[in-house]
Amino acid sequence: ANKIKNAKLVLLGDVGTGKSSIVLRFVKGQFVEFQESTIGAAFFSQMLAVNDETVKFEIWDTAGQERYHSLAPMYYRGAAAAIVVYDITNPASFTRAKKWVQELQAQGNANCVMALAGNKADLLESRKVSTEEAKIYAQENGLFFMETSAKTAINVNDMFYEIAKTLLHQ
Ligand code: GDP
Ligand code: MG
């Protein structure tokens, strides 16, 4: 029988890194150049089939602004998965991503499947965070790592697929 597993997933990371764009790409297959800033958080749900099983992601897309930081635990508490997003053209966003990882490791669900997404991978000529540096950091911290582009769709579905597979085999 086809089993459906519900999984709460949260996106964390600096404002402007492309969290909402990643969700829009995954849920609707769309991209907009002038994505509106998220206020508070937005909710989406999306099913993903993995062989004969299905994961129903319940996605919380958070705002990322410091003034909403105190709300973040509401979204990551009890989350089965988290995607921490930085922008490969913005080193400060990578520093901020590491802070989110630390916070999740300290306060999040112990079994939380964590992924690090280096987004805007289409902007290669403006790259400021090397793939190698991020890959090593991810390995050391037990995170999935992918460089994604919500604009070109590279690795976006793959990232959710890898998370779904891990959740089903947990
Ligand atoms: P959020 O604040 O993290 O939710 O970021 P948004 O999704 O609102 O994106 C911020 C800006 O970056 C928007 O203008 C998006 O169009 C743009 N953006 C998001 N993802 C990408 C990407 O993969 N490549 C490029 N070139 N721009 C992106
Ligand atoms: Mg947003």
Q: How far is the CA of 2 from the centre of ligand 2 (A)?
A: 33
In residues, how long is the chain?
170
Low-confidence residues of the chain: pLDDT under 50:
none
* 130-134 own/partner pairs: CB under 8 Å, 24+ apart: 134/86, 134/94
Rounded Cα distance between 154 and 148, Å, is 5
Q: Which ligand is in closest contact with the Cα of 36?
A: 1
Pairing relationship of beta strands 113-119 and 144-147 according to DSSP bridges? parallel
Sheet with 113-119: list strands edge to edge: 41-50, 53-62, 3-13, 81-87, 113-119, 144-147
Q: What span, in angstroms and rounded, lies between the C-alpha atoms of 73 and 92?
A: 22
Contacts 24+ apart (CB under 8 A), 154-158: 154/121, 154/122, 155/117, 155/121, 156/22, 156/25, 156/26, 157/26
Q: What percent of the chain has pLDDT over 70?
A: 99
Q: Rounded to whole angstroms, how far apart are CA atoms 83 and 8?
A: 11
Residues with beta carbon inside 6 Å of ligand 1? 15-21, 32-35, 37-38, 64, 119-120, 122-123, 149-151
96-123 pLDDT, tens digit per residue, is: 999 999 999 999 999 999 999 999 999 9
Mutate to test the pocket of ligand 1, among 15, 26, 28, 35 (most ligand atoms within 8 A of CB): 35
Helix, strand and coil percent figures for the chain, each rounded to 5: 40, 30, 35
CA distance 73 to 80: 13
pLDDT at 66: 79
Measured from the Cα of 23, ligand 1's closest atom is 7
Ligand 1 atom, smallest distance to 149 CA: 23
pLDDT of 68: 83
Q: What are the tens digits of pLDDT across the range 40-58?
A: 899 999 999 999 999 999 9
Residue 74 and residue 40 in contact, taking contact as beta carbons nearer than 8 Å: no
For residue 47 the two structure tokens come to: 């099913």
Residue 39: what residue type?
I
pTM (global) more than 0.90: yes
